[in-house]
Amino acid sequence: MKRLLIANRGEIAIRVARTARELGIETVAVYSSADREARHVSAGDVAVEIGPAPAVDSYLNAGKIIDAARKTNADAIHPGYGFLSEDPEFAEAVEAAGIRWVGPPPSAMRAMGAKIAARARMIAAGVPVVPGFPGSPDPKEMGEGAAALGYPVLVKASAGGGGKGMRLVARAEELPSAIEGARREALSAFGDGAVYLEKAISRPRHVEMQIFGDRAGRVVALGERECSIQRRHQKIVEEAPSPSLDAGVRAAMAEAAVAAGRAVGYASAGTVEFLLDESRKFYFLEMNTRLQVEHAVTEETLGIDLVRAQLEVADGHPLSEGWGALEPRGHAIECRVYAEDPETHLPRSGTVLAYEEPCGPGVRVDAGIERGSRVGIDYDPILAKVIVRAESRGAAIARMREALSRYVILGVTTNIPLLRRIVASEDFGAGRTDTGFVERLPPPPDSPPPAAAVLAALHEAGGARTGSVSSVLPGAADPWRAASSWRNR
């Protein structure tokens, strides 16, 4: 492998490019017209514009991406996550063009891509699944299926993920509208309106197992990640190892995850996701046939590079023998930083006027932005990930609190205030979490002077880089003193 095209943007494109450079592989960045000045563009040795801002005309346009690979003589494509990363037809087109696909076999992606079929396959492989009903176009049959499961139930998109096409139904009279809404959303997001039903588990934990396979058929489990802190069914805080598993459940979950991978002939990095009920019984939820956003916490606790392993396996190398016996060292936590309102979780846009990352021992930031970056609403609003590692969970929480207190992004509203509240909460510290944690989090205290006022004053002052914020806002209290001791310097 000599030249790698990274078919993605933002922090994951930068992260893949970093490992490729370490291996002496040249990289090709792709970008839409909206991303001409984006940080990931300069991370590549070569950059190619692939279309206008709408993702369907650029990052989701398989033909343009393959054409860019041909034009730049790239001999491999890494899809990152999101966009085309789990599209088996794209993977097949890449391979048909004589280009190496850095990811699992298209057959494995296809087997796990449709959730209804994946559930049946997992049952056949002996993997425990959430009780469910496979779905039907007949409303009466759907109603009977829901009644047999017992309310509450979840309506879920067969081709879905990330909470899209999902509805919680508490009563029978709510079912028809929930099914209609889920089908409409699934058709818009995935081009497939098929839905099915699952029994809703009370206060579940979301725990996933990282697996990795090579082309020789070897599949290993690389430990679990706790992903219960979510908003809108999407993860925002992850950690490894999970504080909710004992040795017996951990071993059984790892065995089930490996069985899932072997059942579809899996190779490369993948994640088998489970729900854990209050009795610590676990159920298969879905399999993500790609690198996960939260892969960094596994890397930090095991001392490995999952992207490097992906590139090596795609290059024909077997998985390292020692990977089957890796044990976590210490504890790692990741917080996802999004351009969104910290209370409503709605996306926000703007220009990053000031940017300062936390740093220090055990602190890692994978970011897709810098000062001057323009954040739009065309793509997923993730800006960066803050990852910390320490010798114990308590020490990792303390390190994350400090890191978030020193992370400064001005000009774009972010969810950092919410992340600070999460890691400072008593329940999080005690490991008392589930997928409804964020909804139960107490409301924030009175906020400091609005950031908009600070930004306006900084802009009026010409972006001065000396003195404190309070010196720019005469008579105002310094809003950063309590939060992070940051000064505009």
Name the residues annotated as catalytic: 290
Task: With H, G, I as helix, E, B as strand and everything else as coil, classify residue 250.
Answer: helix
Burial of 130 (0-12, 13-18, 19+ CB in 10 A): buried
Q: Which residues of 143-159 are buried (b: 16+ CB within 10 A; e: fewer)?
A: bebbeebeeebbbbbbb
DSSP E strand stretches across 79-215: 100-101, 132-133, 153-157, 167-169, 195-199, 205-213
The conformation of residue 442, written as its DSSP 8-state character, comes to P
Nearest-angstrom CA–CA distance, 125 and 155: 24
Q: Chain-centre distance of CA 113, in angstroms? A: 17
DSSP E strand stretches across 55-144: 76-78, 100-101, 132-133
Q: Residue 31 is inside which H or E element, if any? A: strand 26-32
Nearest-angstrom CA–CA distance, 393 and 332: 7
Q: How many CB atoms lie within 10 A of CB 81?
A: 16
Residue 223's region, left for phi above 0, alpha for psi from -120 to 50, else beta, is left
